[in-house]
Structure 1
Amino acid sequence: MKQAMSPEEIKAKKPYLDWSLSEAEYDYISQQLLGRLPNYTETGLFSAMWSEHCSYKKSKPVLRLFPNKNARVLQGPGEGAGVVDIDDGQAVVFKAESHNHPTTVEPYQGAATGIGGILRDIFSMGARPVASLDSLHFGELTDAQTKMKVTGTVRGIGDYGNCMGIPTVAGETTFDPCYQGNVLCNAMSVGLMDQKDLQKGKAAGIGNAVMYVGAKTGRDGIHGATFASADFSDENATQRSAVQVGDPFMEKLLLEACLEVITKHPDWLVGIQDMGAAGIVSSSAEMASEGHSGMELDLDLVPQREAGMSAYEIMLSESQERMLLCVNKGHEEDVKKVFDFYDLEAVTIGRITAGHQYVLHHDGEVVCDIPVSSLTDDVLEESSEEQKPARIVAAEQAPAWQPHITDVEATLRSLLQQSTVADKSSLYQQYDSQVRTNTVVGPGSDAGVIRVRGTHKGLAMTTDGNGRFVYLSPKVGGQIALVEAVCNIIASGAEPLAITDCLNYGDPNDPEIFWELHQSVQGMAEACRVFDTPVISGNVSLYNENNGQAIHPTPMVGMVGLVKNLDHVIPSFVQQPGDRVYLVGQTGDDYAGSELQKMLQGEISGTLADFDLEPVRDYLHRLLKLMQAGKVASAHDLSEGGLGVALSETLFKTDLGMDLDLRHLTADQFFSETPGRLVVTVPAEFAADFESTMGGDAAMVGTVTNSHWLQARLANAEINQNVSELQQLWEEALPCQLKSKD
């Protein structure tokens, strides 16, 4: 097989520099690991496997800060997805992945294949996916390109998920100029399984078969991993060859075939793994590494949909809907029959060998012969310089920005129409949130909730991230991302279990950006320990820049919680007149990075105030116990827009109102975004118990009325607003912005 370049030409021309492999890494591979020059195929494999997207060579030192174990964790980071015990021999499986660069280049396919890839991570563990979530961050809707990207991204998510028959039950969508040239598309999937069916990505047992199953391999997505591990610019803004093309109908067949083998014929299977980033090379090398095995593959046997593909192209293609299985010798035909039934390819392309070599044959020649560990374990970790950004140093010395609101009602109406705050139903109504009939709470609430069929349990789930906060104060912002997720889960009446994450940042070679990554992960890790919510899976997405301009550092937290009794799921909207209204948590003057600041100033500035995590944990746990005892009618967390927006949202789509005494707050504080707060309504008969349990951590501020008016007295202002009019402004804002020709 003729290689595109000889090893000597590769050394001289250095094409690997365009594949995110450094000269120092190339020299280390050739001189230390192999003792010879790698050929073209081998160089390509190293480039993909040593990319940040696959190896985390820059971020590993930071990721070690995360806790990843507690009494419920059955499988932490390192496999396709994390697994958590939910009692009764059952487990919840979940993970989030980023698909940022592909979605920026090709919104529809980028988003669709992001969903497809994360679903395969779930069923590769032996779990059936039961729900999807997303976290989407776009530029401002004043830009025609952004409107196109929003439309394409949402359609891609909806089409793939709907065709798969998996409900999309929760998510978030924000808008900020920093995402104008680099969209963030983070997808999360949640699955359910019996613990006995748990699988791992392992290849072991000399003579056992390596079986390729699913769709045929094409040239789409080649070097997708390295595409995701480099800065974005106008030069690669049309790099569609690195974007995969999805087929949800084939994925549905693949899901059913894989689960049939896993659950009905576990004795046939040694291990299974999705062919995700870096395609065949990542799945096969990682499985061999996990099994401490050698592997030999014949690439001529790989099902291909295009003629004349080279070994390089076959190994690095990221064509979708493909899995790799390690099958016990003698059961190859059994597995093939299952996949034949679903009209899917199932081909033995190699065997497990003694030793630890990774050998590839193509066109009758050996095109790769290297140690497995050289691809997976010998990656050179890269230390990074860190430097506190000058903007933060300056902000710490400057006086805090203070709003001066003269018309609180007009401010509330304007905030409700901000694109990040406004009603997102025009987007998520394109998703089927009720398919499979297990959805208890769908999109538009603090967290989605699904029932665990056959039990009286449920699972609550949410995605949360606020790049503005992390940009201003990375450590505190990281803590807030976790606290917001906890508040959303508890607001639904669920016990927080664990998290997955997508760590979206700019170029880590910039010392200021790496400092942001380090500080924010440190903040997240501290909060995870306080709330006992370990990180069980996730991914790192660096190099999110466009023409040298980085996004705000945006760690996304995906959290799952356990609802022990579905009778006590808590809605986010008020329930009946006469219920008492409580504000849980203390309100401060927290305006830096707020929606109010962005709206009034056109930019964000300042730093975030430190806050104590332990008291927040303690009163949220007390609140959860009251919820589980059936003594809370509704709960809604406070986030963008603060108390003013949260109160409005609790009344929307009801025929009720509120009469509130908020004279301990100013008009400015009505929109403060102090974290860790909720609006809670309580039936009058439980008010005494609620106040006794919550003490000074909850203040009774009014009652629910049947007037459909929001009435509130502040220290220096009054509010008297028709809820129907507020709701109309909130509902119509986003559709109008998307359709506007401006």
Structure 2
Amino acid sequence: MLDTVSVATADPDREQPWADLGLKADEYARIREILGRRPTSSELAMYSVMWSEHCSYKSSKVHLKQFSEIPQETAAGKMLAGIGENAGVLDIGQGYAVTFKVESHNHPSYVEPYQGAATGVGGIVRDILAMGARPVAVMDPLRFGPLDAPDTHRVLPGIVAGVGGYGNCLGLPNIGGEAVFDETYLGNPLVNALCVGVLRHEDLHLAKASGVGNQVILYGAKTGGDGIGGVSVLASETFSEDGPAKRPSVQVGDPFMEKLLIECTLEIFAAGLVSGIQDLGGAGLSCATSELASAGDGGMHVDLDRVPLRDSTLAPEEILMSESQERMMAVVEPDDVAAFLAICAKWDVDAVVIGEVTDSGRLQIDWHGERVVDVPPRSVAHDGPTYHRPFARPDWQDALQADAAEALARPATGAELEETLLRLVASPNLCDKSWITDQYDRYVQGNTVLAQPSDSGMIRVDEDTNLGVSVATDCNGRFAKLDPYAGAQLALAEAYRNVATGGATPLAVSDCLNFGSPEDPSVMWQFAEACRGLKDACLELGVPVTGGNVSLYNQTGETAILPTPVVAVLGVIDDVTKRTPSAWAAEGLAVVLLGETREELSGSEWAHVVHGHLGGLPPRVDLAGEKALAELLRAAGPGAGLLASAHDLSDGGLAQALVECSLRHMVGAAVEVDDDPFVALFSESTGRVLVTVDPDDVEALLDLAEQHGVAAAVLGATGGDSVIVSAAEAPEPLFATPLLEIRSRWMATIPAAMA
């Protein structure tokens, strides 16, 4: 055999394009040290994508490792697989487990909005599938620039169509997410995608290549030139004013092939034909081969000639770097290969044996009779560079926090309060999002219990027992800018609270940490503080981090995005028929506010929309209070059946919660607030939920609240066709705004902008 590796050894001084592939000089030197020679071009390609920021977490892993300090088995539940696997897996009882994860596809979605978003959904679905689970639902936390910006008009429709088009074709309900607008996301939208899967305990599969002689099978779509170096290069580059610094082709998705791949893979699992499996996402074959080998017996041989190609002109480097979608790699015992291939043929899925597990301790890849790769697999997959990047609290942070919103001019009269409410409900972040969510199928498969615009999404897992799971994603980037430690905790607290409002018990966390350039010490400080805050909050709330994603270099020129640590919380509910709706549907119910309201306006939607202001400190974090509130919501909801509805208070405060609850079924409410109506209506203090109960159950709810140490105040009652707000002891209401007027403003914003 001709040996390209031997040629590399004999020709040590040949210049190689390591810098063009995104490697640093010291990284290239380290590769040469590991190999004891210069790398071949194929090896250089593999190291470049696997040591990229997206795949190696080289700037973030020193901070991420603290999540391992959180106990994996808590009072809420047990983790069956966690950080380091394709996705975390949790025991939810009755022999069932769920797996969930949230990841980013930010930069590809800026370059090519439809395909970037679509393949983001496809990739996270395959991560869930690789754990042995059937994917059952998706969610999409999104961030865009200003709604009226031309580039937002370019990216938003394509991204939404990509998320909806791919998920709808797969037959997966989209049960939640967010759409947030801020000028810092202009030129750098965030497309985070989450998937939930369900499996029996015995169906759990892990990504490892074990068993010498076992066969390595590549199956799914053919490998093409799309996405060569794709996300692994894009995720390590900032965007300039003129667009991405590098434009590798964005992956092209085929959801119909993915649907075949899902059903084919699930049948293969059911037949017990797989000893290890991995999806092909970022870094493609480079990732799948090296990660499977390093997590197994440590050796693998691959014949690259056997890889089915859509483009016969691809060089071996390009085949190894291609991020073509809808591909999986399985490790199969020799006696099971025929049965494996037969199932693939049944589903019209291409499948080819491309290699085998060895005891060499090396990943060895041949192409046209030459050995083009001979490396220790762990050095590619797990032993990449670790950066201890400098980080420091920025010199502008103190001034930012000193500029509190409490000093801003505020409305005083009833008419001014009403106009403020109407202005806020029509603002991009608080307005109706159905222009987006109506493009998603929320109820396909028939197991969706809650979906947008509910506080959380909920899916029935077992049709006989009605066991279910609930998921919510949240993050307020303005809060994280003001205080990244508290901002990450507030993101967790809101998602935790949203899961609890439906009556579920929060179990675990997945996160997608979106930040600017790690080469900026201020950004790295934000990242470090957010990780520390999230870890501390998870410890206090008793919820482990099961895994997640880091997305860095999210900035345009010198402008970094708001630090956006998106947190997803998954919870379990024993009987979905006892869930608590997010909005009231009947008249004559008592409206009760749970939790304390403080004068906390910094970082609020009011400050943002009315004054264009960002400064001060975010709302105070009270994790003990959040835990007590969640326990109360479960006790009063599924436990006692007292609650007719429960809606958390967050962006926009009490005013927004009243609007959203009233508009859902066009049933209004009349409430009375304290002697500072503005603070009562627009403060964004956390740890608060607006609930309704039958008047006969008010005392029982108040007693339960007292037992749990949660403040509770009866505000009024539901009914009528207006939102009516009065001040304590005032003879006349401050305002009485018809629901039809509120709805017309609330619903008009995005359709008008997109027209």
* TM-score between the two structures when normalised by the length of structure 1: 0.96
Distance in 2, Cα, partners of 1:23 & 1:738? 46
Please give the alpha-carbon distance, in whole angstroms, between the structure 1 residues aligned to 2:47 and 2:178.
Answer: 36
Q: Is the 8 A contact 2:237 2:244 kept in 1?
A: no
Q: What does residue 207 of structure 2 align with? A: 201
**Residue in 2 that maps onto 1:423:** 432
Match for 1:690 among 675, 696, 701? Answer: 701
State the match for 1:657 in structure 2: 668
Match of 1:363 among 368, 371, 375: 368
Of 494-503 and 449-458, the range deviating more from structure 2: 449-458
Report how far residue 595 of structure 1 moved.
0.8
Q: Which residue number in structure 1 is paired with residue 714 of structure 2?
A: 701
Cα deviations across residues 674-725 of structure 1 (Å, max 9, x unaligned)?
A: 1121111111222111101112633333332331221112369812111221
> Equivalents in 2 of 1:409, 1:682: separation in Å?
26
Residues of 2 paired with 1:131 and 1:27: CA distance? 44
Write the mapping of 1:157-172 to structure 2, written as runs, cut at 5 A. 157-172=163-178
C-alpha deviation, 1:624, in angstroms: 1.7
In structure 2, what is the Cα distance between the partners aligned to 1:13 and 1:409?
Answer: 69
Matched, 1:256 2:267: no
Alignment of 1:402-441 (within 5 A): 402-403=407-408, 404-406=410-412, 407-441=416-450
1:93 aligned residue (87, 95, 99): 99
What SS does the aligned partner of 1:351 have? strand
Shift, 1:10, TM fit: 9.3
2:652 paired with 1:641: yes
How far the C-alpha of 1:295 sits from its partner, in A, is 0.5
Partner in structure 2 of residue 294 of structure 1 = 299
Superposed, which structure 2 residues align to 1:102-113 within 5 Å? 102-113=108-119
Separation (CA, whole Å) in 1 of partners of 2:308 and 2:25? 34
Please identify, of 667-676 and 196-205, the stretch whose mean Cα deviation from structure 2 is larger: 667-676
Distance 1:236-1:9 versus aligned 2 partners, 3 A rule = farther
Determine if the alignment matches structure 1 residue 725 to structure 2 residue 741. Answer: yes
Counterpart selection for 1:324 from 326, 329, 337: 329
Contact kept, 8 Å, 1:8 with 1:37, in 2: the verdict is no
Deviation of 1:76 after TM superposition, in Å, equals 0.7
Deviations 1:447-476 (A, max 9, x none): 111112332222111111111110111011
Within a 5 Å distance, the mapping from 1:660-671 to structure 2 comes to 660-671=671-682
Note the aligned Cα RMSD (angstroms): 2.0
- 1:503 match: 513
Instruction: Kindly indicate whether residue 440 of structure 2 is the aligned counterpart of residue 444 of structure 1.
Output: no
Q: Is the 8 A contact 1:105 1:238 kept in 2?
A: no
Matched, 1:69 2:72: yes
- AA matched with 1:123: L
Residue equivalent to 1:675: 686
1:389 aligns with 2:394: yes
Comparing 396-405 and 57-66, the one that deviates more: 396-405
Number of the residue aligned with 2:289: 284
Structure 2 runs not aligned, ≥5 long: none
Mapped to 2, the partners of 1:500 and 1:337 lie a distance apart of 36
Aligned residues: 736
Shift in alpha-carbon separation, 1:319–1:711, aligned structure 2, 3 A: same
Residue 479 of structure 1 is matched in structure 2 by 489
The answer to whether the 8 Å contact 1:392/1:607 transfers is no
Q: Residues 573 and 202 (structure 1 numbering): CA distance in 2 closer, same or farther, change over 3 Å?
A: same
User: For residue 710 of structure 1, what is the aligned residue in structure 2?
Assistant: 723
Deviation at 1:559, TM superposition (A): 1.5
Closer, same or farther in 2 for the Cα pair 1:566/1:377, shift >3 Å? Answer: closer
Between 1:311-320 and 1:520-529, the stretch displaced more is 520-529
Q: In the aligned structure 2, how far is the partner of 1:11 from the partner of 1:166? A: 53
The equivalent position to 1:241 in structure 2, one of 237, 248, 264, is 248
Query: How far apart, CA to CA, are the structure 2 residues paired with 1:9 and 1:242?
Result: 32
Mapping 1:22-171, distance limit 5 Å = 22-31=24-33, 33-66=34-67, 67=70, 69-70=72-73, 71-171=77-177
Q: Is the 8 A contact 2:100 2:196 kept in 1?
A: yes
Q: Tell me which moved more, 510-519 or 230-239.
A: 230-239
Whole-angstrom CA distance in 2 between matches of 1:553 and 1:440? 32
Distance in 1, Cα, partners of 2:220 & 2:241: 35
Cα distance in 2 for partners of 1:524, 1:103 equals: 27
Letter in 2 for 1:433: R
Aligned 8 A contact 1:212 1:324 in 2:
yes
Tell me if structure 2 keeps the 8 A contact 1:587–1:672.
yes
The superposition leaves residues 713-741 of structure 1 with CA deviations (integer Å, 9 ceiling, x where unpaired) of 236981211122112211112111222xx
Q: Indicate the SS of the match to 2:93.
A: coil
Report the Cα offset of residue 238 of structure 1: 8.5
- CA 309–234 in structure 1, closer or farther in 2 if over 3 Å, else same: farther
Q: Is the 8 A contact 2:404 2:615 kept in 1?
A: no
Does the 8 Å CA contact 2:480/2:487 hold for their aligned counterparts?
yes
Cα distance change, pair 326–386 in 1 and its aligned pair in 2 (3 A): same
Structure 1: runs of 5 or more not aligned: none
Q: Which segment drifts farther, 310-319 or 601-610?
A: 601-610
Equivalent of residue 21 in structure 1, options 3, 20, 23: 23
Describe the shift of the 1:399–1:472 C-alpha distance in structure 2 as closer, same or farther (beyond 3 A).
closer
Structure 2 CA distance for partners of 1:86 and 1:510, relative to 1, 3 Å? same
